[in-house]
Amino acid sequence: MQINREDMLELTRRMTIARNCFGRIAGGYMDEEGYVDGTFNTHFQKLSGPDKTRNLKLAKAVLFAETNRELKGFHFSAQSRKPGSIWQILMALRECGLKNDALLLSLYEYIGEGYQPGFPYGIFLFHGNYDIPLKGSDKVQQRESEEVYSFLVCAICPVSGDYEPGEPRMGFLFPAFSDRTADTEGINVFSAEGSPEALMRMLERSTPIST
């Protein structure tokens, strides 16, 4: 599934202090073996100015990645959309706007089972809403939005010291933003190493998620 870079740039233009689209941020701090070492969950507007800037940079790094190499589009198979799947958890987290800590813990543990890099890392999750303006064929905005794109951005980063995040190594945008609309069976997956396929295989593995 090819990604249109203009779609990604359209989203990142709403990821600034002045035009922030995020309502909530949550995360899990993982140890070297992929076990949860701590969590947080808060309204994005409650962050300090420097924390807002720092976290917006993490989210934008995922979407600013080189399109169709570091950031690629995939579709979840019918098999991988069954109950207990990562797809079901992501859909539920999108629906609740990250306000269910039990679902969040299930996601952290699922990622931790599949990713043990040998160093501490953080899983940073953002929930946003974007009122998609209608545009004509000349790409000029015409009138008010008729669709709200509700989405999650995940950035997985090494952490050091007092849980200070480094540059994102992996992440995703769910659901995929395709042709300026939500593709709920799709996901845009990021890998700084240029291997999003490996992360997609890890996400789509058949191990049921306990909730």
Is 187 inside a domain boundary? yes
As a whole number of angstroms, the distance between CA 28 and CA 106 comes to: 11
Domains identified in the chain, total number: 1
Are 162 and 133 a contacting pair, CB within 8 Å? no
As a whole number of angstroms, the distance between CA 54 and CA 134 comes to: 31
Q: Specify which residues 73 forms β-bridges with.
A: 188
- The helix (run of H) or strand (run of E) holding residue 200 is helix 196-203
In this prediction the pTM is 0.93
What local confidence, expressed as pLDDT, does residue 95 receive? Answer: 97
As a whole number of angstroms, the distance between CA 145 and CA 7 comes to: 16
Is 171 inside a domain boundary? no
Is 114 inside a domain boundary? yes
- Would you report the helix, strand and coil content of the chain in percent, each value rounded to 5? 30, 35, 35
Reduced to 3 states (helix: H, G, I; strand: E, B; else coil), residue 173 is: strand
pLDDT, one tens digit per residue, over 123-171 is: 999 999 999 988 755 555 555 667 899 999 999 999 998 899 999 999 9
Domain of residue 52, residue span: 5-15+24-159+176-203
Is 34 inside a domain boundary? yes
pLDDT, one tens digit per residue, over 29-87 is: 999 999 999 999 999 999 999 999 999 999 999 999 999 999 999 999 888 898 889 99
Is 170 inside a domain boundary? no
